[in-house]
């Protein structure tokens, strides 16, 4: 039995969909906080079980009979470590043969703002003595869909990433990698640095938006303070502004640029180009 936590989230649904092309539906468990949101999965034969990271008893029940578990990182920044620890404890109690975890690229050394909680989770998994596979996901192409829409409307993309590069891939690419790890042998105690095949700059992003939207779009690089001011004036909350400016600083420093090839090797095909993702999103 393969259990996917957060199975009604954007990544989780894609993982489940990929799993259904590889194994029978009755071998898949969608572990979700709100089972009513997974009725479509239940209709396809997937087992749907309640699983709330903040309620450990639900995790124990959700993992009953599990062989492999995919822990998709929680969305509550600042609370992830105790939530993930509850999943680790439940997986250990269930005696799973593999716990896979969606981490972040170079979690053990990265300065990206979200990295510390991922690093702590990875350490907890190893300390728990579980056989693991750490899926260190890089950036998603989809992260830049709102930027693309704004850029297409205004003709300008702003940021403070300088000439830093981003080796992004589509969310479906990362989901496919997780499905491979969960259904094939040879992934015990592995660490995968997952990223796109091509690293692009913000100028490249603007060029892709321009090509897709059919209108000129340019990238305007700003000092970090000016970037923060512009985002604040646009109405973004202070924590979001701080996060976005911090991410651009990490991009400028090269933390999201690595093209390791791990992702394309796992999924057996090239990763999805940024322009392909943006084209699909802007058309819709």
pLDDT of amino acid 186:
96
Q: What is the CATH number of the domain that holds 130?
A: 3.40.50.720
User: Which pLDDT tens digit goes with each residue over 212-241?
Assistant: 999 999 999 999 999 999 999 989 899 889
Q: Does 234 lie in the same domain as 217?
A: yes
Q: Does 158 lie in the same domain as 91?
A: no
Query: In this structure, is residue 88 part of a structural domain?
Result: yes
Q: Does 131 lie in the same domain as 13?
A: yes
Mean pLDDT of all residues belonging to the chain: 95
pLDDT of amino acid 79:
83
According to DSSP, the residues that pair with 69 across neighbouring strands are 3, 99
User: Which pLDDT tens digit goes with each residue over 87-119?
Assistant: 999 999 999 999 999 999 999 999 888 899 999
Q: What pTM did the predictor assign?
A: 0.95
Residue 21: which domain range? 2-137
User: Which pLDDT tens digit goes with each residue over 178-225?
Assistant: 999 999 999 999 999 999 999 999 999 999 999 999 999 999 999 999
Q: Does 121 lie in the same domain as 28?
A: yes
pLDDT of amino acid 220:
97
Q: Does 39 lie in the same domain as 13?
A: yes
Query: In this structure, is residue 266 part of a structural domain?
Result: no
Domains in the chain, number: 2
Query: In this structure, is residue 182 part of a structural domain?
Result: no
Q: Does 147 lie in the same domain as 131?
A: no
pLDDT exceeds cutoff 80 at 77: no
Q: Does 155 lie in the same domain as 114?
A: no
pLDDT band at 284 (very low <50, low <70, confident <90, very high): low
């Amino acid at each position: 039995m393969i259990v996917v936590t957060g199975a009604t989230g954007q990544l989780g649904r894609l993982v489940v969909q990929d799993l259904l092309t590889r194994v029978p539906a009755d071998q898949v468990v969608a572990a979700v906080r709100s089972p009513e949101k997974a009725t479509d999965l239940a209709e396809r034969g997937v087992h749907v079980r309640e699983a709330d990271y903040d309620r450990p008893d639900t995790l124990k029940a959700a993992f009953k009979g599990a062989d492999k578990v995919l822990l998709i990182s929680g969305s509550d920044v600042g609370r992830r470590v105790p939530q993930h620890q509850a999943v680790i404890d439940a997986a250990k109690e269930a005696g799973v043969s593999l716990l896979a975890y969606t981490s972040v690229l170079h979690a053990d050394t990265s300065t990206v703002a979200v990295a510390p909680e991922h690093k702590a989770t990875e350490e907890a998994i190893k300390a728990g003595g579980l056989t693991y596979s750490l899926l260190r996901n890089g950036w998603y192409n989809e992260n830049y869909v709102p930027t693309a829409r704004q850029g297409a409307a205004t003709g300008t993309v702003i940021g403070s990433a300088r000439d830093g590069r981003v080796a992004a891939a589509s969310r479906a690419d990362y989901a496919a990698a997780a499905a491979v790890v969960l259904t094939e042998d040879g992934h015990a105690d592995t660490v995968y640095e997952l990223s796109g095949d091509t690293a692009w700059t913000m100028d490249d992003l603007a060029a892709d938006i321009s090509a897709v939207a059919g209108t000129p779009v340019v990238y305007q690089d700003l000092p970090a303070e000016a970037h923060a001011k512009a985002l604040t004036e646009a109405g973004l909350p202070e924590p979001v502004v701080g996060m976005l400016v911090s991410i651009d600083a990490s991009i400028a420093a090269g933390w999201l640029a690595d093209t390791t090839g791990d992702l394309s090797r796992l999924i057996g095909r090239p990763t999805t180009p940024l322009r392909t993702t943006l084209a699909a999103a802007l058309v819709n």
